[in-house]
Structure 1
Amino acid sequence: MNDQTHDRATFTAMTEGTQADWQAISSHFIPFAAKGGRRVLDHLKLLDGDYGGFPVDRLQHSLQTATRAHRDGRPDDYVVMALIHDIGDTLGAYNHPDIGAAIIRPFVSEEIHWITAQHGIFQGYYFFHHLGMDRDLRETFRGHPHFEACAEFCEKYDQAAFDPAYESAPLDFFEPMVMKLFERPRQSLYSRTAEAA
């Protein structure tokens, strides 16, 4: 990316911005945004070797979750969600589902976004009681249109993906799916904001 001075905006505050400034910024943003899939794949690699006490490291858990979903015939956007659902583990120990959900939101359906955002509480059904917590916290969402879809994701793919003997597909198998999904958003933050107004 060429970052020479003449390719950059000249303002010191946005109130001073001109059309030429914003054209310069857009000329950088568009190719940068198009490489979002590559940055997602690179960040997933940070999970390699991070066990956190689990039987497999976080990357293997992610690959195993995605592989199980793929082998079950799920569509590519679902498989990518399964791959990146825990991508926030290294950044947000207390709210990792929010991070994955924020990353994937512009590119997927409301259902897939909701599964990503809520999977932490739904996954808790399988272990919260061992930590003195209420395993049924997910019941606060009972009746939500995506409740069963999230419960199914956790049961079939997420909670089952800690098997050291399972033969997962490698990360490069998923690369074309990731690159395609993150190529172009279904809608942007700005269109969602306008709709909500």
Structure 2
Amino acid sequence: MEPTPQGERMRFHRMDEMSPDDFRLLRTVHEQNLLQLPDLLLDLLERLGGDEAYPVDRRTHSLQAATRALRDGRDEETVVVALLHDVGEALGPLNHGEVIAAILKPFIREENHWMLAHHPVFQTYFYGSQVGIDPNGREAYRESPHFAYTAEFCALYDEVSFDPDYPQEPIETFIPMVRRVLRRPWDPPAPEPETRGGELN
């Protein structure tokens, strides 16, 4: 990937006026943004540190979840997902699972994407009855092919990872994994075919 020349700027005022040079520069900008994504997510993880009300702060919680997945022999993608599963809380406290699921969707398998989006409701199985939330809310998703996987992830890596005595790996163990999982070339998705009356146009 070539760097963006100093001061070079796209010249269009409307997207339907974009020239080949504009598209070339746009792609370069997107590729540079993609290279910055690991550091942005790791910075969000750092922002989860310092919670005083939890037994451990949420950064430590995330490190413990990733460490447990790593020591269980999970593949690198799943370890990274465990590390980053709560970083959406810095941007969307009310829907943090959906936030990180959307960010990571281009880089991860469907079962991990689904798990990230739904893990908050699956977590209520362990504490919902204490705070007036239905602990069986996850049953609404029982027919999903990813139900068992998500329940297992929460039981093995998420709900147990608030232990001040657990010897988690340092963040340095996981940084190269994050960079590898997020190392994908940017490519705009192909448009979906339009449908009318159940038939392709």
Q: TM-score, normalised by structure 1?
A: 0.90
Q: Which protein is bigger by CA-based radius of gyration?
A: 2
SS of the residue corresponding to residue 139 of structure 2 reads helix
Which blocks of at least 5 consecutive residues in structure 2 are unaligned? 196-201
The residue aligned with 2:29 is 28
Amino acid at match of 2:131: L
Residues 8 and 25 of structure 1 are in contact (CA less than 8 Å); yes or no, is this contact kept in structure 2? Answer: no
Report whether the alignment pairs 1:119 with 2:119. Answer: yes
Hey, what's the Cα distance between the residues in 2 that align with 1:95 and 1:189? 26
Moved more, 161-170 or 27-36: 27-36
Aligned residues: 193
The residue aligned with 1:85 is 85
* 1:106-145 aligned within 5 A: 106-145=106-145
Amino acid at match of 1:194: E
Q: 1:54 to 1:190 in 2, by over 3 A?
A: same
Q: 1:28 to 1:188 in 2, by over 3 A?
A: closer
Q: Quote the RMSD (CA, aligned, Å).
A: 2.0
Hey, what's the Cα distance between the residues in 2 that align with 1:115 and 1:8? 40
Superposed displacement of residue 12, structure 1: 2.1
Residues 4 and 28 of structure 2 are in contact (CA less than 8 Å); yes or no, is this contact kept in structure 1? Answer: no
* 1:48-127 aligned within 5 A: 48-51=49-52, 53-127=53-127
Superposed displacement of residue 117, structure 1: 0.8
Q: Percent same amino acid among aligned pairs?
A: 40
Residues 88 and 96 of structure 1 are in contact (CA less than 8 Å); yes or no, is this contact kept in structure 2? Answer: yes
Comparing both chains, which one has the higher relative contact order based on Cα–Cα distances under 8 Å and sequence gaps of 6 or more? 1
Amino acid at match of 2:98: D
The residue aligned with 2:192 is 194
Q: 1:74 to 1:18 in 2, by over 3 A?
A: same
Amino acid at match of 1:108: I
SS of the residue corresponding to residue 47 of structure 1 reads coil
Hey, what's the Cα distance between the residues in 2 that align with 1:122 and 1:61? 17
Hey, what's the Cα distance between the residues in 1 that align with 2:49 and 2:162? 14
The residue aligned with 1:17 is 18
Q: 1:20 to 1:189 in 2, by over 3 A?
A: closer
Q: TM-score, normalised by structure 2?
A: 0.89
Moved over 2 A (4+): 1-5, 193-197
Write out per-residue CA displacement over residues 147-191 of structure 1, whole angstroms, 9 at most, x where no aligned residue.
000000000110000001111111111011100000016x96624
